[in-house]
Amino acid sequence: MATSCIGAIAAGPHNGHDLALVQLSRSLTLDAVNGRYRAIKLPDAGEDFSGLTCTITGYGRIEGMVGPLPNILQAADVPVVSNKECESVLKNNAYITGTIKIHDEQICAGDVSGSKSICAGDSGSPLSCEQKDGSYILAGIVSSGFGCARAATFGVFTRMSVYKPAIQAVLRYYGP
């Protein structure tokens, strides 16, 4: 299936942004009967997920930065923390040097004990939060981390609630 990039909202994680949109050459049919594939909703502008437990999924490494890549999609439930808490925890981590700034366009999630985390190869994977009706909202997209399942660290994600208006504008321009 051919794809084309229909717009990069901003390029690269260096300025706090890490997002691109891709247009498929044909529509996908989602199977609502058995739930194997489901669409995910975008959050409302400004929606905050701090304090919620959400799910990270991906095909990233499962045993450190050079460990094996899984053949099966991995998933873990992790708490979402405020940017202030994220910066505070990361600032006090002996493994991290330099100044840590979590931008408003970013969101942090992970198990501070280090038992569950994103890892190398998970970039672009979703941080999804289940709603009361069983649907999911895309809270974030894996952007960066500080090692794999390391204590006193969090994964850093692109905060999707900031980008909903821009995404809607791109989709209006290119159409369905």
Residue 40 or 176, more confident: 40
- Averaged pLDDT, 64-91: 88
What's the residue count for the chain? 176
- Which run of H or of E encompasses 166? helix 160-174
Residues 122-158 pLDDT 10s: 888 999 999 998 889 999 999 888 778 777 788 899 9
Q: Whose CA is closest to 110, among 171, 169, 157? A: 157
List the structure tokens of 161.
């609630």
pLDDT exceeds 60 at position 48? yes
How is the chain split into domains, by residue range?
39-162
Residue 98 or 162, more confident: 162
CB contact at 8 A, 112 and 151: yes
pTM exceeds cut of 0.75: yes
Residues 51 and 79: their CA atoms lie apart, in Å, by 6
Residues 19 and 126: their CA atoms lie apart, in Å, by 12
pLDDT exceeds 80 at position 68? yes
Residues 81 and 72: their CA atoms lie apart, in Å, by 27
Q: Give the per-residue SS3 of 7-53.
A: EEEECCHHHCCCEEEEEECCCCCCCCCCCCCCCCECCCCCCCCCCCE
Write down the CATH number for the domain with range 39-162.
Answer: 2.40.10.10
